[in-house]
Amino acid sequence: MKRPVQVFNYRIQNNSNSHLDIYIDGAIVDAETQEIYEVWFGDTTSVSFKSIREQINAANPSSVKFHVNSPGGSVTDAMAIYDYMQQLKRSGVKVDAIGIGLVASAGTYIVMGGEVPALTPNTWWMVHNASGWAWGDVNEVERQAATLRKFNNQIRDFYCEATGLSEQEITAMMDAETWMTAEEAVAKGFVKEVDNLSTSNVTNKVTAEPWGFKNKAGIAAYNSALVTQPPFDLQQILLTQNNDMKNFLKNFLEGFKGNFKPAENATTEDIRNQLADALEKSLGSLETEVTNLVTEQVNSMKSNIINEIKGVYDDKITTLTNKATELESEIANKIGQKTTAQNSEVSNEGRGKFNKAE
């Protein structure tokens, strides 16, 4: 039995809303060539339109993301993958694509098939003319050359439509085999953006109402991690307090010199004792300043945490207080109504007895 070709890795996030990550880390070839590479040479890096189509159809995902690191390969299979990506979009599947490392030749078609084509910062992007080989008599070679020209023109038109650049400019780039950085590929219109791989820049805090989970403490953790309000950023502290540290060390040395003033006729024992006293006084001052700095940062952290917790629970506490006040008023009203009814009954009962005595 043949071992299955490991074309790419994927993961299913959940059964109701599946996501598929497709990793292309090799050449793009036709199905027959892919099988030959795998069986004869043990290669498991190449991909074909057939292998990708079968994996996606088997997973039936609602979203797909292509991660492409490829030197290129077969024009027909790469274009087939591009067209298949468009079919997926029309059927309601969200399709994204990002280039990582190297996106060259036919590999560019797949990245450009995403809804928002992107490249990582250090990715190289390359476009060039179609290539192939011909064998036969002069007529056969000319026929194959004419066919190859059709392929080249189709690639040129594909790039023109996607980028908005003229035929002349794209032709010149393909003739020159143009290599571009990620930023240059964006500037030319081949892709939409450079993914800088940074952490999320979310700045909007989450309030208790839309939080869909039972653990409300998670809101405080989320809000405290926002880029705009880090509760304790050690790196920033070190950077911003660099000058303060220099001044602190300067003051420490000056204080030490001020505390250490041996007399001209001091003995070795006197100098040793005075040196110890000067160090003790200076280190005592150092301990105080360090303690104050740490205390300040700890208090700042505590304040941030308390504010986050209050932000999460203040609304709930206010709501509960209002409900308690309403309930208290309602109970008071019921007690008042019952008391009034009892007084009325006693009054009527007394009046009946009086009348009966008459």
- Between 274 and 25, where is the model more confident? 25
Q: May I ask the CATH architecture of the domain 19-128+177-194?
A: Alpha-Beta Complex (3.90)
Does position 149 have pLDDT exceeding 70, yes or no?
yes
pLDDT at 154: 97
- State whether the Cα torsion 287-293-296-300 is positive or negative: negative
Question: What amino acid is encoded at 35 in this protein?
Answer: E
- Between 216 and 164, where is the model more confident? 164
Query: Residues 60-113: pLDDT tens digits?
Result: 999 999 999 999 999 999 999 999 999 999 999 999 999 999 999 999 999 999
Helix (H) or strand (E) holding 119: strand 118-119
Query: Residues 298-335: pLDDT tens digits?
Result: 777 767 667 666 665 666 677 777 777 777 777 777 77
pLDDT at 299: 73
37's CB contacts (< 8 A; 6+ apart) are: 29, 43, 46
Find the catalytic residue in 19, 63, 128, 285: 128
pLDDT at 142: 94
pLDDT at 315: 64
Find the catalytic residue in 48, 105, 224, 282: 105
- Between 168 and 263, where is the model more confident? 168
Report how far residue 358's alpha carbon sits from residue 353's, in angstroms, rounded to the nearest whole number.
Answer: 9
The pair of three-digit structure tokens given for residue 286, joined into one six-digit string: 């150092």
Cβ(87)–Cβ(56) under 8 Å? no
pLDDT at 79: 97
pLDDT at 328: 77
pLDDT at 9: 34
pLDDT at 201: 42
Cβ(1)–Cβ(39) under 8 Å? no
- Between 122 and 298, where is the model more confident? 122
Query: Residues 281-293: pLDDT tens digits?
Result: 666 666 666 677 6
Beta bridge partners of 66: 22, 97
The rounded mean pLDDT for the chain is 76
pLDDT at 240: 55
Boundaries of every domain in the chain = 19-128+177-194, 217-325
Predicted confidence band of residue 27 (pLDDT cuts 50, 70, 90): very high
Report how far residue 274's alpha carbon sits from residue 280's, in angstroms, rounded to the nearest whole number.
Answer: 10
Q: Is 105 among the residues known to form the active site? A: yes
DSSP string computed for 26-39: S-B--HHHHHHHHH
